[in-house]
Structure 1
Amino acid sequence: MRASHWLGRHWRILLAGLVALILLALATLAAFPWGSLDRTIESRLSKALGRPVTIGSIEREDRFSLHPVLDIRDITIPQPDWAEADTPMLRVHRMRFGFDALALLFGTTRIETLDIGGADALLIRTADNRINWSGASGKSEEEGSSTNALHALSLQNVTIAYRDALQNRRFDVTLNGGSQSGLDVKGSGSVHGAPVSVRAHGGAFAAEDGSGRWPFELNIEGQAVGLVMHGTMAKPLATDSIDATASAHGAGLAYVDALIEAGLPDTQPVRMTATLARRGPEWKIEKLNGTVGRSDFSGDATIRKGGGQSRIDGTLHADRFDFADLSTDAQRAKADAKQARQGKLVVPDTAIDLDNLGDVAGVLRLHADRLLAPGSDPFTSLDATLTLEKKTLTVSPLRFGMPHGTLSGKAVIAQKSAGPQLHLQLELNGGQLSDLFPASGVDAPARGRIDLTGTGKTIRAAIGAASGRLALTARNGVLPDKTALLLGQDVGGGLFAGKKKQAVLRCLIAPFTLKNGTASAGNVRIDTSRAVTRAAGTIRFPSESLNLALHGVAKQHSTLRIGGAVPVRGTIKSPKISPPEKGDSVGDVIGQVGKALFGGDEPVATDIDCDHAITAAMNF
C-alpha cells in the first residue's frame, strides 16, 4: 500500500526521469563518434567473413544526427582460402554511406544513402554452392536486403567480375551513375559457354522522401540465350520489391534456368514472356506464355523462398505438348542410338531421379489438351497434379486421355538411398484394344489395372526391377476370323479363311504377377467364337522380351490342327510367333494331316465364364 501511495505521488517525476534518460540516450547516439570504431568494425568484419579485412580510415561527416554519414577509405576484403584467387574479393577506394542509427538498436542495418567512388569486386560461386561474399563457411545464406531504405545512390567506376561454376555462367560489368541521374551497367559474359552482352539502366529517383518507385531495365542478350526485363523497384537496388515484365529465349531451358535459377531441366529451344512481382521472399509469376520446341504453355505460379527451400504453387496449361521436347538434340540422339540397339519398347525411358531438383517443394498442376505423336501414342491428353515434399513426388490425380477411355491413377516417386523408388497405381477404363494394339485387327472394350513398385533412375529401369501385379481384360469384341482360327491352332481353317470375315472375341483375360522385373502369366485366356486359347510363360522387363507359349483348342472340328504349344518370342512391340513344338518338321505336319483325315474327333472347347474370369483377374 505504501509503495502504491508513493508511486501515486511521484509518477510525474519518474516519467520525466524516463523521458530524460531516453533523450540522453538518443543524444548520445546522435553524437556518437562512429569514426573511432574503425578498428572495431575491421575486427568484426574479419571475424564474420573469416579473413583479414582492412580499412584505411572512417570519418564522420556530420556532427549530430540520428542519420549519420560516414566517409570510409581504402577497404580491402581478401578472398577466402578456398577461392584460389590472387585478386581480393573487394577493394573500395572511397565510400560514403548514411544509415539509420536507431535501426541498429533493433539489430538491423538500414542504409539510406550510398556513394562509391572506385571499386573492384571478384565474386565467386563454386560448383558445390560456396560463395565468397558470405561468412567463413562460404555457404549461401538468405539475407534480407539492407538497401530497402536507400533513397540516394551514386556509383562511379565500380567493376564487378562474377564467376559462377554452379550455373556455368560468368559476367564482367561496370557500373556508373546514380539515383539522381540514372545508373548504367554495361559488360559482357557467357552462359554455358555461349557469349552474351549485358546492359542495364536504372532511371532517376528524385523523391527525397522515398515515395514513388525506381524504374529499371535489364537486357542480357546472346544468340543462345537472352533475358529482357522492364520494371520498377521500391527503392534503388531494393531487389526485394520488384514489379516487372520479362521475356526470355534459350537454345534450351537450361540456358534460361542458368539466369533465373529455378532448377529446370534442359529442353528443346524455348521462348517465354511473363509479368513478375516480388515482395520479400515471395515471387508471383503471372501471364506466363511460351513455347518449348513444338509444345506451348501458359500459366502462373507463386514461388516463395525461405529456410533454404523454394516452394512453388503453379498451374500450367498446354494446347499442344510433345514429351520429346523435354530433351535436347544430344539426348534425343542418345535415345535413338539406344533404341537402335534395343528395338522399340513400350515403357518410356523417362528420368525420375529427384536429386537434381535440390531443395524444391510445392504443387504444380498440369493440363495438356493434345499430346503430340509419335511419343505420346496411344495417349491424347494429360491432366496431372504434382506434389513434391521431402524428396517425394506424388502425381495424383494422374489422367491420360486416349482415343477411347482413360488411363488414370497415381504415381509416387520417393528418393531412397538405393535410388528413386516408383510406385504406380493405374486403371484403364472405357478403353479399346485397337488403341493399344492398332495393327492386330483385334478390337473390344478393354479394362486394365497396374499396381507395382520398383527402383531405378528411369521409369523403364524401375519397372525392370519392379514387383506387383497387372491385368488387361476385354469383352464382346471382334477379330479377324483367320486370327481366331490360328489361335485355335486350326492351320487348315486359317489358310482358307476369308480376309474380311470376322469372328467374335468373347473375352480376353491376361493377368500377370511381377517379381524383380519378370511378369509371369497367370490364368491367361482368349475366348473367341472359334477357340479358347491359353497362354503361359513370362515377359521380362526392361527388355520387354517375350517367352510365352500359346495352346489353343478349337470349338468345332478343325480342318488341320497342329498340336503342341505355339512359342511366342520377340518383344511386346515386335512379337515373333514360331511353329508349334510338335509341328516343326515335315513328318510332324504329315502326321497331323493324316490324323485330321483318318483319325477320331478332336476334343472341342466350350465357352468360359467371362464375367467371373474378368472379375477375378481385376481383383487386386
Structure 2
Amino acid sequence: MRDANGRSNWKGKPRAADAPPLTTGPGLTRLTIHDGQLSLRDARRRLTLAGALSVEGAAGLRLAATGTFLDTPARLDVRGGRIDGIDPAAAWPVELHLVSPALRLEAKGTTDGVLNTHSFGATVTARAPTLKNLDRAIEAGLFGTQPIALIGQVRHDGRDWYLDTIGGGIGRSRFVGKASVLKRDGRTAIDAQMRASQFDFDDLSDDAGRAKAAASKAAIGPRVLPPTRINLSHLWKTDGTIAFRVDRLLSDGGTVFRSLRGQLHLDHQLLTLDHLVATLATGQMTGVARVDHRSGRPKLSTDLRLEGMALDTLVGSPDDITGIVRGRITLSGQGDTVREALSRADGSAAIVSNDGTIKALVADVLGQDLGGTIKQAILHPSERVPLRCLVATFRARGGVLVPDPLAIDTGSAIGRGSGRIDLRDESIALTLAGRTRDDPALRIVDPIRVGGTLSKPAIAIAGSDAPSGKPGVGGFFKALGRSIGEAIGLGDKPAPRPAFMPVDCARLSAAALR
C-alpha cells in the first residue's frame, strides 16, 4: 500500500545519504510460493491490482493481476526465471506486461542476480495517450504530451539509470537518442543526446495544455512571443547537458524555421542554450540564450544574430522590397515565461539590409512625393530602384522598443521612423516620414503608418486605411486633396520639410550590429 503523500509499507528504514548504493539482490537460492495472492493499492500512481502469485521449480515466478490504472481497466503479467538450483548472482530473466487503455508498458531483460531490482537491463516499449501516463508508472518527473510510441534499451545500476538507446514518436515528432541519469551527492546529473528527423513543439503539450493555450489565444489574441515556462525551481537539484538536433521543424500555423540544433547546459539553476543554429527559409539565426534562476525571479537574456534572411520574407511583401537581412537581438528581462520576461526586457534589437531593391512607387510614397507616386502608379507600376539600406535599431526599456534610428535610403528618397513597439501587448505604433532628392511640387501629407500587432501588422500608405496598406484610388484622392490644401495654405500649418540628407548606411549598419 502507498497513500497519496507517498507513505508506503514496502519501504524499509531510510538509508544514510552517504551510504553506498545497493547493487545486489536478496541472494535467494530457493523460494517456493503456492497459491499466493498479491494486492497493490498505490494512490500515488492511481494503480490498483490484485491477482495470483506463484514461484515453483522450473516454472519460475508468475504473477497475473487485474485492476485499474488511472481509472481504466488494467492487467499486469510478470514472468521470471527459475530460482531453485541456479547461481543466485547469475543473470535472471524477467519480463513485464502492463496493459491498459491509459498505458501499454512492456519490458523484457535480465537482472544481475535473482530478483535484483538494483541492477538490471531491459528492452522497454511504451504506448500511451500522453507521456504523463508513462510517468505515473515510472515516476521520472515527465510531462503531458501528445500520444507516445517509444522503445528503448534501459539499464539500472545502483542509483543510476542509462538509456543506451531510445527512439520512437510523440505526436507526429520522430526522434532517436541516448541518455544517462546519475545520482551524486544528493544531485541528479543528466547527459543526453537527441536527434529528431521531424519535430513539432506543440507535441510537448497534451490535449488539456493545447486547450488552455487555445483559450488564452482566444482571450488575448494571437501572440508571437511564446509562453514557454522558464521557472527552474523544480530543477534545483538537477544539472546536466543535452545536445539536440532537429532536421525538420513542423508547425500547424507554418514557420520560417526549418531546422534547429544546439546544446542545453544546466548548472545549479543556471540554464544556458549555446551553439544554437536555427536554419530559416533563407538564412539562419545563431547565438546564446540564458536563464538565471539562482536568486529571485528567473532572468532571461539573449544574444542572437540573424544572417542571410530575405527581407521580403521578414516584411511579408515580396513584390515591394527585396534584400538580405542581418540582425542582432540582445534583450534581458525577468519573468516565469519567455513572454513575461521579454515584456519587461531592456536591451536592443536591430535589423539591417543593404544592396536590395524597392518599387519606385513605394520609394516615392516613402519620400512623400505625391506627383511621383501617381506617375509611377499609372506609367511604371513595376519599376524598381536600388535600396541602399534599411537600418532599424530599437532600444528596449521595460518591454517598450523605440527606434534609434529607423532609417531607409533608396538613393532618390529617404525615410525616418518614430514611434514604439510594446512587447507587453505586442502592439505596433510606428510612423515613417521622408522626402525625395528633388523637392516635389505636391507632397503627400500623410506619412506611412505601421500599426496592429507583431502577429498581424497593419500598414496605411498615402492616406489608405486598408489593412493591406496598398495605396488605392481613394487614398490618392484624399492625399491629393490634403496636399493641394497645404500648397495653397488651407488646413493646418504644414510641417517643415527636412533637408535631403542621405543615410550613412555603413556607419548606422555597423552600429546596429555591434
TM-score of the superposition, structure 1-length normalised? 0.72
Deviation per residue, 1:19-52 (Å, 9 max, x gap): xxxxxxxxxxxxxxxxxxxxxxxxxxxxxxxxxx
Aligned to 2:429: 547
Q: Is the 8 A contact 1:241 1:279 kept in 2?
A: yes
Match of 1:154 among 12, 32, 47: 32
> Is the alpha carbon distance of 1:405 and 1:590 closer, same or farther for their aligned partners in structure 2, counting shifts above 3 Å?
closer
Q: Is the 8 A contact 2:462 2:479 kept in 1?
A: no
For 1:573, what is the secondary structure of its paired residue?
Answer: coil
For 2:134 and 2:301, the matched residues in 1 are separated by 32
Aligned to 1:69: none
Task: Indicate the structure whose relative CO is greater, using CA pairs within 8 Å and at least 6 residues apart.
Answer: 2
Q: Is the 8 A contact 2:89 2:114 kept in 1?
A: no
For 2:139 and 2:81, the matched residues in 1 are separated by 26
Aligned length: 494
For 2:382 and 2:477, the matched residues in 1 are separated by 30
Q: Is the 8 A contact 2:361 2:372 kept in 1?
A: yes
For 1:444, what is the secondary structure of its paired residue?
Answer: strand
- 1:265 positional shift: 2.1
- 1:535 positional shift: 0.9
For 2:265 and 2:155, the matched residues in 1 are separated by 24
Match of 1:509 among 391, 397, 404: 391
Match of 1:210 among 67, 88, 92: 88
Match of 1:593 among 475, 484, 504: 484
Aligned to 2:2: 123
> Is the alpha carbon distance of 1:194 and 1:485 closer, same or farther for their aligned partners in structure 2, counting shifts above 3 Å?
farther
Point out where structure 2 has 5 or more consecutive residues left out of the alignment: 466-474, 491-495
Aligned to 2:327: 448
Match of 2:403 among 521, 546, 549: 521
> Looking at CA atoms only, which structure, 1 or 2, has the larger radius of gyration?
1
Match of 1:348 among 226, 233, 252: 226
For 1:488 and 1:304, the matched residues in 2 are separated by 64
- 1:191 positional shift: 4.2
Q: Is the 8 A contact 1:241 1:278 kept in 2?
A: yes
- 1:492 positional shift: 4.1
1:611 matched to 2:489: no
Deviation per residue, 1:143-168 (Å, 9 max, x gap): 62662533333345252323243x55
Match of 2:341 among 448, 457, 462: 462
Deviation per residue, 1:307-356 (Å, 9 max, x gap): 44332111111111111111122222322332233333322222222234
For 1:124, what is the secondary structure of its paired residue?
Answer: coil
> Is the alpha carbon distance of 1:488 and 1:195 closer, same or farther for their aligned partners in structure 2, counting shifts above 3 Å?
farther
For 1:419, what is the secondary structure of its paired residue?
Answer: coil
Deviation per residue, 1:556-585 (Å, 9 max, x gap): 35464223654432112322345779x999
For 1:555 and 1:192, the matched residues in 2 are separated by 74
Aligned to 2:173: 295
Aligned to 1:112: none
Note the 1:136-151 alignment, pairs <5 A: 144=22, 147-151=25-29
Aligned AA (1:609): D
- 1:536 positional shift: 1.2
For 2:346 and 2:69, the matched residues in 1 are separated by 44
For 2:3 and 2:276, the matched residues in 1 are separated by 43
> Is the alpha carbon distance of 1:207 and 1:437 closer, same or farther for their aligned partners in structure 2, counting shifts above 3 Å?
farther
Point out where structure 1 has 5 or more consecutive residues left out of the alignment: 1-121
For 1:318, what is the secondary structure of its paired residue?
Answer: strand
For 1:183 and 1:289, the matched residues in 2 are separated by 30
Q: Is the 8 A contact 1:176 1:184 kept in 2?
A: yes
Deviation per residue, 1:360-419 (Å, 9 max, x gap): 321111100111134562111000211122122211122211122211111111225643
For 2:170 and 2:146, the matched residues in 1 are separated by 6
More displaced stretch, 493-502 vs 281-290: 493-502
- 1:282 positional shift: 2.5
- 1:257 positional shift: 1.9
1:385 matched to 2:280: no
Deviation per residue, 1:461-502 (Å, 9 max, x gap): 110111111111111112333322222223443344244322
For 1:237, what is the secondary structure of its paired residue?
Answer: coil
For 1:513 and 1:160, the matched residues in 2 are separated by 65
For 1:173 and 1:353, the matched residues in 2 are separated by 43
For 2:368, what is the secondary structure of its paired residue?
Answer: coil
For 1:492 and 1:230, the matched residues in 2 are separated by 81
> Is the alpha carbon distance of 1:273 and 1:481 closer, same or farther for their aligned partners in structure 2, counting shifts above 3 Å?
same
- 1:449 positional shift: 0.8
Q: Is the 8 A contact 1:380 1:403 kept in 2?
A: yes
Q: Is the 8 A contact 1:361 1:389 kept in 2?
A: yes
Aligned to 2:469: none
Aligned to 1:276: 154
Q: Is the 8 A contact 1:205 1:213 kept in 2?
A: no
- 1:506 positional shift: 1.2
For 1:523, what is the secondary structure of its paired residue?
Answer: strand
Aligned AA (1:483): V
> Is the alpha carbon distance of 1:327 and 1:591 closer, same or farther for their aligned partners in structure 2, counting shifts above 3 Å?
closer
1:304 matched to 2:182: yes
Match of 1:267 among 145, 159, 167: 145
Q: Is the 8 A contact 1:263 1:357 kept in 2?
A: no
> Is the alpha carbon distance of 1:303 and 1:170 closer, same or farther for their aligned partners in structure 2, counting shifts above 3 Å?
farther
Identity in percent? 31
For 1:196 and 1:162, the matched residues in 2 are separated by 13
- 1:259 positional shift: 2.0
TM-score of the superposition, structure 2-length normalised? 0.86
For 1:171 and 1:425, the matched residues in 2 are separated by 53
> Is the alpha carbon distance of 1:343 and 1:125 closer, same or farther for their aligned partners in structure 2, counting shifts above 3 Å?
closer
For 1:140 and 1:133, the matched residues in 2 are separated by 19
Aligned to 2:273: 395
Q: Is the 8 A contact 1:248 1:272 kept in 2?
A: yes
Match of 1:223 among 89, 92, 101: 101
- 1:176 positional shift: 2.3
Aligned AA (1:613): L
Q: Is the 8 A contact 2:31 2:83 kept in 1?
A: no
Note the 1:42-121 alignment, pairs <5 A: none
> Is the alpha carbon distance of 1:155 and 1:399 closer, same or farther for their aligned partners in structure 2, counting shifts above 3 Å?
farther
More displaced stretch, 504-513 vs 144-153: 144-153
Aligned to 2:363: 484
Note the 1:131-210 alignment, pairs <5 A: 131=8, 133-134=10-11, 144=22, 147-156=25-34, 157-165=36-44, 167-172=45-50, 174-177=52-55, 181-210=59-88
- 1:220 positional shift: 0.9
> Is the alpha carbon distance of 1:237 and 1:406 closer, same or farther for their aligned partners in structure 2, counting shifts above 3 Å?
same
Aligned AA (1:224): A
More displaced stretch, 508-517 vs 427-436: 427-436
Q: Is the 8 A contact 1:131 1:139 kept in 2?
A: no
